[in-house]
Structure 1
Amino acid sequence: MVSVIIPAYNVERYIGACLDSVLAQKDVDFEIIVVDDESTDSTMQIVSNYAAGHKCIRAVRRSHGGLSAVRNTALQLCHGEWITMVDSDDLLAEGALKTMLDIASSGNDIDIVAGGWKKFHGQFVPPPYRPTGITLLSGREATEIMLYKKRRHNTVNSSACGKLYRSSLWRDTTFCEGIIYEDLQLIPRLCVRARRVAVTDCTVYGYRHNENSILHTFSEQRLDALKVTEGLCRHFADDPDLYKAARSRHFSAAFNLWLLMNANRAGLPRHVASCRKIIRSLAGSQIAGGKVRLKNRIGALLQYLPFIFTSPYICKKLLSK
């Protein structure tokens, strides 16, 4: 059985479509665990109505604690051998659970299946599936790709969603509460413990793009990215290759924040200085690192030309890359 975790908070506009996309999954035994984070709109009522008509849905309401707290509550309620997570404003593609479960059940000691995803604004229409095979990686290989954030390996990312996990991986494992970037903080640590990670190019997940998301604007919460990536550096300090990858992700976090603050004319001088210090300290390793992504190399070189970043237009262009 697959346990589908859906955290919900003030998503009355989207929760119905999200639940419909999961209920439409065929040829798979699944349960849906929706944990409401004390919504102030009609989200819980909508979920309760769905639960009344579908025995596979379990609706739980808890005191407001944020996304990590809600997911942690849901993890305690799972009964499935496999777990997947769906954000309440996103959608599962048709046949997503069966696609991932078939791959997971094929042997090869697979503990995680990472599926493709597509960003959408209005209606979610997955592209036609043209299979190119399954890529098998060790947990360590997948973690390294994840930390370097290579575009050609976009499916192997640090999002908790769009993946199928063997439930035993989550024993004694919880999301860090009180921060954003909770996925980046946890998923690399989880992934490195996997025996095998299977990667498919099949689109299994629809990500609803929201221009007003906290991840597309600057706020002091965004500075959590520096703490999280610094923590990853400490966590992988005893593994030379993963340590290099974590340092690259730390550089990426600082560079993106620096661009974001310049693009929006936001952030206190001490925040800008903090990012600049990290960029300077890691620039050499980004220029010389053989596995570092191109954007980091460009950032490492451009930091010697700070006048470029006086243009919000240039900063926004670099952010989109």
Structure 2
Amino acid sequence: MTKVSVIIPAYNVESYIGRCLTSTVNQSLKEIEIIVINDGSTDNTLNVINKFCSLDNRIKVIDSKNNGVSAARNYGLSRSTGKYIFYIDADDWIETNALKEMYEVAEENNADIVIANAYIDYDNGKLVPYIDGKLTCDEPLKDFLIGNIRPSVSTKLYRRDLFTYNNIRHFEKIRIGEDLLVNFFLILHAKKIIKIEKFFLHYIQRQKSAIHSYQESMYDIYIVLDKIEKFLKENNLYEKYKNEFFYLKYMHTYYYRVVLSPNINSTHKYFYKRWIKEKDCYLGNNYLLEFLMKEKYINRVIEKLYRTNYFLGLTVGILKENIKKFIK
């Protein structure tokens, strides 16, 4: 019996895929299948995958045109046979006991989702903890909307039935925020979620895409949020989760992309202008007030300056970033 299906989308990662596959085939849990989707790579990625495939018959290779990470995950999901699903990006890697420990916790607790922590690995060897799955109440969806459960799919083990029974698939036309959207529906339908305080995933910090392409795809976050808002309204959940939803929207369209990202470009200003038009919706939101009270003083100052004038906030934000670079 296949206990876990590991799904790995791979696009032009010849320098990284070997480390990822090594960490996967060496898992202490042996009853796994490894589904690698070569997403139209133009470098030596497919050759590296095939070498691993010739040495381990648990590896299945899907060679496809470049359709994006969500389509690749859907290909892998449709070919999977494991009781659980684990996603990992081809430039990341996992600790040897990751799948065994997450699988055993899922089985012992009859859980639909098991969440673990990760490290962000930098080129200089620095490891920054990435904490996921802070469960503060009996409503995981609320914890998800306020950021206690992170949108990443790679820190989670999912029961495959959660996808198949609820007809959940990855959204293929969305480039930024696709993990946020699919996790919204998975967490909504999950009957039991367990968090374990282990660090299993190593998320490699590197430049993954061209700046221009990334800036264009950033607008997709509004599609994601519109879909979530529409679902909440159509299912009579909007009033119940309204404050949590607006906190989610504030963080992903204004705080992360304007306050913490001082870039002189049309994308930055577009996000700012949209927030200004909607800012009255955020007045009195207790989640926002609590969050800002705990934030660093300089970030609170920049946030307030943006509320007054775009160029004041931008100027101080750029100054802050330049000082950080100078110190480094």
Tell me which interval the TM-score lies in, with the shorter structure as reference length.
Answer: 0.7 to 0.9
User: Structure 1 counterpart of 2:153, which letter?
Assistant: A
Contact 1:148–1:291 (8 Å) recurs in 2 = no
Give the structure 2 partner of residue 305 of structure 1.
308
Give the structure 2 partner of residue 274 of structure 1.
274
| Cα displacement (A) at 1:301 | 4.7
Secondary structure, counterpart of 1:52 in structure 2: helix
Secondary structure, counterpart of 1:84 in structure 2: strand
Secondary structure, counterpart of 1:27 in structure 2: coil
Give the structure 1 partner of residue 142 of structure 2.
144
Post-superposition Cα deviations, 1:139-181, rounded to whole Å, max 9, x if no partner, equal x7222212211xxx4xx21111111110001112111112221
User: Structure 1 CA distance, aligned partners of 2:53 and 2:35?
Assistant: 10
Q: Does 1:173 align with 2:178?
A: no
Alignment of 1:215-234 (within 5 A): 219-234=215-230
Alignment of 1:111-150 (within 5 A): 111-122=112-123, 141-149=139-147
Q: Alignment length, in residue pairs?
A: 303
| Cα displacement (A) at 1:214 | 6.5
Identity %: 25
User: Structure 2 CA distance, aligned partners of 1:35 and 1:3?
Assistant: 13
User: Structure 2 counterpart of 1:177, which letter?
Assistant: E
Contact 1:35–1:59 (8 Å) recurs in 2 = yes
Secondary structure, counterpart of 1:98 in structure 2: helix
User: Structure 2 CA distance, aligned partners of 1:315 and 1:123?
Assistant: 22
User: Structure 1 counterpart of 2:217, which letter?
Assistant: Q
Post-superposition Cα deviations, 1:103-149, rounded to whole Å, max 9, x if no partner, equal 10113x31000011110024989899xxxxx98788x7222212211
Secondary structure, counterpart of 2:152 in structure 1: coil
| Cα displacement (A) at 1:11 | 0.3
- Cα distance change on mapping 1:117 and 1:9 into 2, 3 Å: same
Secondary structure, counterpart of 1:12 in structure 2: coil
Contact 1:283–1:300 (8 Å) recurs in 2 = no
Contact 1:137–1:198 (8 Å) recurs in 2 = no
| Cα displacement (A) at 1:226 | 2.2
Q: 2:24 aligns with which of 22, 26, 30?
A: 22
Post-superposition Cα deviations, 1:207-248, rounded to whole Å, max 9, x if no partner, equal 001245569996121111122123222222322343321221
Q: Does 1:157 align with 2:160?
A: no
Alignment of 1:1-321 (within 5 A): 1-107=3-109, 109-122=110-123, 141-149=139-147, 153=148, 156-171=149-164, 172-180=167-175, 181-211=177-207, 213=209, 219-237=215-233, 238-239=236-237, 240-255=239-254, 256-259=256-259, 263-267=262-266, 270-278=270-278, 280-286=279-285, 288-289=286-287, 293-294=291-292, 298=300, 301-306=304-309, 307-313=312-318, 316=321
- Cα distance change on mapping 1:215 and 1:113 into 2, 3 Å: farther
Post-superposition Cα deviations, 1:80-107, rounded to whole Å, max 9, x if no partner, equal 0111000000011120001101110113
User: Structure 2 CA distance, aligned partners of 1:105 and 1:123?
Assistant: 38
- Residue segments in structure 1 that go unaligned for 5+ positions in a row: 129-133
User: Structure 2 CA distance, aligned partners of 1:246 and 1:215?
Assistant: 29
- Cα distance change on mapping 1:36 and 1:292 into 2, 3 Å: farther
Secondary structure, counterpart of 2:89 in structure 1: coil
User: Structure 2 CA distance, aligned partners of 1:141 and 1:103?
Assistant: 20
- Cα distance change on mapping 1:316 and 1:146 into 2, 3 Å: farther
Contact 1:251–1:282 (8 Å) recurs in 2 = no
User: Structure 1 CA distance, aligned partners of 2:305 and 2:146?
Assistant: 19
Give the structure 2 partner of residue 131 of structure 1.
none
- Residue segments in structure 2 that go unaligned for 5+ positions in a row: 323-328
User: Structure 1 counterpart of 2:117, which letter?
Assistant: G
| Cα displacement (A) at 1:293 | 2.9
User: More relative contact order in 1 or in 2 (CA 8 Å, sep 6+)?
Assistant: 1
Secondary structure, counterpart of 2:114 in structure 1: strand
The RMSD of aligned alpha carbons is 3.2
- Cα distance change on mapping 1:110 and 1:292 into 2, 3 Å: farther
User: Structure 1 CA distance, aligned partners of 2:210 and 2:244?
Assistant: 25
